Structure 1
Amino acid sequence: MTEGIDEADRPVALAGGSPDLFSKFDPLIEQRRALLAHGQEDPFSLVMERVLSPTQAVCNGRETILLGTYNYMGMTFDPDVIAAGKQALEDFGSGTTGSRVLNGTYQGHRECEEALKEFYAMDHAMVFSTGYQANLGIISTIAGKGDYIVLDIDSHASIWDGCKLGDAEVVPFRHNDIDAMEKRLKRIPEGAGKLVILEGVYSMLGDIAPLKDMIRVAKENGAMVLVDEAHSMGFIGPNGRGVAEDQGCLDDVDFVIGTFSKSVGTVGGFCVSNHPKFEIMRLVCRPYVFTASLPPSVVATAATSIRKLMHGGNKRAHLWENSRKLHAGLKSRGFSLGTDEPQSAIIAVIMPDLERGAAMWEALLKEGLYVNLARPPATPANMTLLRCSLCAEHTADQVETILGMFERAGKAVGII
């Protein structure tokens, strides 16, 4: 058997020559086989043997700088956050073993929702077990058969899946194209329910949406607006409320979706809203009603982290410094980047193809740097990317070290 390739990856057929249900994955299996055939480490199966801090871990037995974890504000090792989780574990046990509408709402869940309402200065907050589930639940519940959803073509998979589950008519438009969005809105039949879905920061290239103008157009055409701020919450905006706050249009957003697995530093998802009827969602949103609630220790860490992010101005400023420095350094060394200027904590380095992207990823790992390798179909325009996610806990010296690693690896692989 070829090293690094599982025998189970080989195509099979059922008795009688009929293909099995895995046959549709054969092209991807072949692509993976070719990628790993020469001893290339699998970029999608890395094990972190030990995590030392928000910015460092032990991978393959060596200390590695983390530049691909979405830990934007570095809250995973905050002493107050850890202490809150330990205390909740002692006081309430390891899990709720129930749905939020049954026995799964503990004091901590309410406190977490209160922290979110305070953070966003909104009337309602609803906590889900994951960010994916938040999009799945909210979108599928508020937009159903006979309604129309107008959304950016580069929307996250959880948004697309929420649309599919709700069975609304889905009308995509070209990425960040305000005119295209407006044309599609104007074609929707009169009297139909309309929901526009946007993201503050798009996770692959790290670019931001022109939310102010897009929300204005949506409202002029009678649509409600949902904005996913997963990659901007905690970091972008004067109070860390995201791109909508930064562009001065948060009050015009009907629903803000977010996650705890990025700047908050734990796991879970949420929706905040000022809609007066929002609380009925707790009874009609199936992914909320039929899923066990988050463990007490998780909501305790989330609530503590959210309250600390309200006062995270210095960390936000330092993260912007890191983003500008890394972007400028990579650009000056000849790398092709996803944005002309840094727009978020995500910096995407565009690779010529998957093979060289994987080789570059491995070269960086051997240097002691972990980044994300992103490939189609998750990426726009069939691009292969090395996606760098900066952290407020990265020091200036670490950013300099990272730039040196990129330069050496890029020259070794022939990218620059």
Structure 2
Amino acid sequence: MTDLLSKFDPLIEERETLLATGVKDPFSLVMEEVLSPTVAICNGRETILLGTYNYMGMTFDDDVRQAGLKALEDFGSGTTGSRVLNGTYSPHKDCEEALKEFYAMDHAMVFSTGYQANLGIISTLAGKGDYVILDIDSHASIYDGCAMGNAEIVAFRHNDAEALEKRLKRLPAEAGKLVVLEGVYSMLGDVAPLKEMIRICKENGAMTLVDEAHSMGFIGENGRGVVEDQGVIDDVDFIIGTFSKSVGTVGGFCVSNHPKFEIMRLVCRPYVFTASLPPSVMATASTSIRKLMHSGNKRAHLWENSKKLHKGLRDLGFELGTPEAQSAIIAVIMPNLEKGAMMWQALLEEGLYVNLARPPATPANMTLLRCSLCAEHTSEQVDQILGMFEAAGKAVGAI
């Protein structure tokens, strides 16, 4: 009998070799208690959280929590059904209304996760005979949406508008074309040149979808993302996002002004064939989204945190993923997985949690320590974080 798990033997061996050095498993950390958006108890000690994507710190917002508690009382723990059957409650419709208000768009569709939003929208839009043109560093959910839709996949070099244009010009003029871009790329935290790219797409007859998972809430004057910041929000066809970052809960969505968009509710399999989110989750999401519309001060503070941490880490001698702060993500590049894991553990022992990111999730086979800042981090906490990086970096020989 063929062991279908044998294909993972190299990964199993790599993991066992890493753990044999005495490093704790960086992919199975347990948070025993969460005290706030920025602090938790990990391994029995108080730990600053710098790897949670909780960009706007909404997970402990009083209004958000109260909305969830009320919906739990009013509607129970779950819907036990699909949105197209018994799974649409008033909080689901209210959440979609909140999204339409937030983006000033005509249509909004909520999915059970952000992953499902990409899976569903991309696979439904682009099928056999169509083309999906995407950045080679696109998120796994984007690639999986392409595979499920059975479209032809055409990748171009990361953030290279000229390469995008060359790819588009080689495709049949009459073919259906969907260009999928991200506002902020989650590994390095770098921003796409969307203004130039959207212009190229329009000139070459391609529809556009922009994933704003890592920019919603804090980039752009109203927090609508890179599309707003670069002035192209009215030129994109679809915006994908998630509730598990700045919104502070779980779920995904797509917003659009396309006049035929509502038919997607009947033809999008990851929307039709899965249970809808609990009403309590929907209530927390809609409350958070509406508060994010008026969070200019929090956005400004988050930018201050990001610039301060980026400069501080660079001054300490760490190699970073971007030449300047471009988002709430700051990637610290490590020479290899072993050194990265040692640094990750040294930081944890200092009282700091960051993400250890490794190939194949990372571009160019890099090992990264990915820092995700929060608007609730104080300036003093950022100073503490820099001190922890300095101590850990010197302890493991990273600086």
Whether 1:48 and 2:47 are equivalent positions in the alignment is no
Could you say what secondary structure the match of 1:53 adopts? coil
Distance in 2, Cα, partners of 1:92 & 1:244: 36
Q: TM-score, normalised by structure 2?
A: 1.00
> Over the residues paired in the alignment, what is the CA RMSD in angstroms?
0.5
Distance in 1, Cα, partners of 2:232 & 2:240: 15
Whether 1:402 and 2:378 are equivalent positions in the alignment is no
Partner of 1:286: 269
Distance in 2, Cα, partners of 1:156 & 1:95: 29
- The residue type paired with residue 252 of structure 2 is G
- The residue type paired with residue 288 of structure 1 is Y
Whether 1:304 and 2:304 are equivalent positions in the alignment is no
- The residue type paired with residue 29 of structure 2 is L
Partner of 1:207: 190
Whether 1:143 and 2:142 are equivalent positions in the alignment is no
Partner of 1:415: 398
Partner of 1:338: 321
2:207 to 199, 210, 224: 224
- The residue type paired with residue 338 of structure 2 is E
Ranges in structure 1 where 5+ consecutive residues have no aligned partner: 1-13
Offset at 1:38? Answer: 2.6
Whether 1:88 and 2:71 are equivalent positions in the alignment is yes
Distance in 1, Cα, partners of 2:202 & 2:141: 24
Distance in 1, Cα, partners of 2:247 & 2:372: 15
Whether 1:249 and 2:227 are equivalent positions in the alignment is no
Partner of 1:183: 166
Partner of 1:11: none
Distance in 1, Cα, partners of 2:22 & 2:357: 20
Partner of 2:177: 194
- The Cα offsets for residues 61-110 of structure 1, whole Å up to 9 and x where unpaired, read as 00000000000000000000000000000000000000000000000000
Offset at 1:189? Answer: 1.0
Identity of aligned residues (%): 83
Could you say what secondary structure the match of 2:158 adopts? coil
Distance in 1, Cα, partners of 2:166 & 2:335: 34
How many residue pairs get aligned? The number is 399
* Structure 1 runs, 4 residues or longer, greater than 4 Å off: none
- The Cα offsets for residues 315-349 of structure 1, whole Å up to 9 and x where unpaired, read as 00000000000000000000000000000000000
Distance in 2, Cα, partners of 1:328 & 1:183: 36
- The Cα offsets for residues 185-229 of structure 1, whole Å up to 9 and x where unpaired, read as 011112100000000000000000000000000000000000000
Matches within 5 A, 1:44-123: 44-123=27-106
Offset at 1:39? Answer: 2.1
Distance in 2, Cα, partners of 1:213 & 1:347: 24
Offset at 1:34? Answer: 0.4
Ranges in structure 2 where 5+ consecutive residues have no aligned partner: none
Offset at 1:40? Answer: 1.1
Partner of 1:8: none
- The Cα offsets for residues 205-260 of structure 1, whole Å up to 9 and x where unpaired, read as 00000000000000000000000000000010000000010000110010000000
